[in-house]
Amino acid sequence: MRSNSDQSQLEGKSFFEQLEEELFNSADSNNKIKFKDEKSPYYFLPPLQDFLELLNLPHTQKQLLDLAESAFGIDSKIGRSSKFAIFGNGVGKQVISKLLGFYKNLPIPFDDVFTPKNLNKIDKSAKVGSNAVYWLSAVPFYKLSAPDGESDKELEPLFLFIEKRCQTEVRFLEYVREKIKNDKIDREDTAAIYKYISGFWKSETKVPEHAVHTLGNIIKYPEKLKKPSKEDTLSAIESYCFMNLDFYLEAITYFEIGVRYEYGNDPQNLKKEIGTITRSIYAFATNDSISTCFEALLIEYKKILTDLVGKIGFRDLARFIDINELENADLSESLDDRQYTQLKRWRNGKDIPSNERLAAFLDKLDEYANVDSGYVLKMAFRIALGVDKLVGKIISATAFDNCEPHEVEAIIKKVLSRVPIYYESNITDFLNAKNAD
């Protein structure tokens, strides 16, 4: 991002004028310009791109460009190969001008998002290498996308959490960098740096102290990593899981708290009973007979439907799945059997439904129960599928020779089983803040 000397020169210019100037100045020796999709490896505030991918939403720069074209019905006039090159090997200034011209013509108030105040926050985030760069753009964009008269109040707790995480991480990284700059810490002394990091994690997260200490011991005694025992490996993986999942457990519970509060739940009931999503994650983590978080949520939803329309089983649910005549089945089977087989595969984490297919399935169930769940039910199931995807990613990322995938999965479930702790702590903080208003 821009330096301090550049800052004064850019003041007073519109967002697009500033962006164009920065991009043109970033051209390489071949006069090529490209957008960098940078991600920092900090677990405290994971990359926005990873978060969106887990929810099966557009998450790459090209996907977002394609989405903008589709959503607003405006052609960017940029060829397919050039689109890939913008976010790959780079393109010339003519293509960049065309891209910026396309975004300028969209009915989006960019200057309301990229205010001087917010640009300053984004610049600070970029300078310290924080993922807050993308979050600080995305949250205001989403708020502005709400239809007139609607404010998405149910998302306020989630947004407040994200904004606080952004501020906290940037402030901490600035603090550590200042210590290094003033020779208070040797940048090569990872053990000394981790002393500050460990204090930060203990004070700002719900990660258990033993998990923070485990990672500290690994940094302090790196020789252990050369030939780690199985116990050392599993301890390191546990520490990794606690830190990796902390953000997601916070975000999920804040989302659920906002939804439950805004859609008519008595505040006292919010404290007495955890929400459906939280309960589903906990069931998946503690019940060996449940294969996926998606299945756990489906079981919870089945109970809700039973209260609305009478007893309903998985086979009854399956009848609301659209089945292609040639899909995934022996054509000698009845349609009922093929639908049931498909639902069973979904429950086991196979043939994961697309967003469109999942929405069609849930809409039909809503129609049957004569209710309108809106986007909340769909998002709940996307979250469940996202948890399952995240579990798979962690298992793949921790594929070591001296431990088995089922052992890693057990560790992940141990961490996920703490989701009620997150919910109960966050609902208390949320209601206390409401009472103080």
What does the pLDDT read at residue 113? 84
The C-alpha atoms of residue 65 and residue 71 are separated, in whole angstroms, by 10
Q: For 135, phi and psi rounded to 5 degrees? A: -65, -40
- Which is nearest to 368 in space by CA: 299, 321, 300, 298? 321
The angle that helices 230-262 and 156-181 make with each other, rounded to 10 degrees, is 140
Amino acid letter, residue 182: N
- Which is nearest to 242 in space by CA: 230, 250, 232, 254? 250
Which residue positions in the chain have pLDDT lower than 70? Answer: 1-13, 146-151, 265, 325-331
The C-alpha atoms of residue 351 and residue 343 are separated, in whole angstroms, by 9
What does the pLDDT read at residue 8? 46
3-class secondary structure, 55: coil
What's the burial of 223, exposed, middle or buried (CB within 10 Å: 0-12/13-18/19+)? exposed
SS (H, E, C) 256-293: HHHHHHHCCCCHHHHHHCCCHHHHHHHHHHHCCCCCCH
**Predicted confidence (pLDDT) per residue in 273-305, tens digit:** 999 999 999 999 999 999 999 999 999 999 999
What does the pLDDT read at residue 331? 65
Query: Given phi > 0 = left and psi -120 to 50 = alpha, else beta, which region is 371?
Result: beta
The C-alpha atoms of residue 279 and residue 423 are separated, in whole angstroms, by 10
- Which is nearest to 343 in space by CA: 360, 370, 322, 326? 322
The C-alpha atoms of residue 45 and residue 163 are separated, in whole angstroms, by 10
The C-alpha atoms of residue 14 and residue 25 are separated, in whole angstroms, by 17
Strand partners, 33: 91
The C-alpha atoms of residue 373 and residue 397 are separated, in whole angstroms, by 36
The C-alpha atoms of residue 127 and residue 123 are separated, in whole angstroms, by 6
DSSP character string of 116-142: HHHHHHHHHHHHTT-THHHHHHHHHHH
Cβ atoms of 315 and 340 within 8 Å: the answer is yes
pTM passes above 0.85:
yes
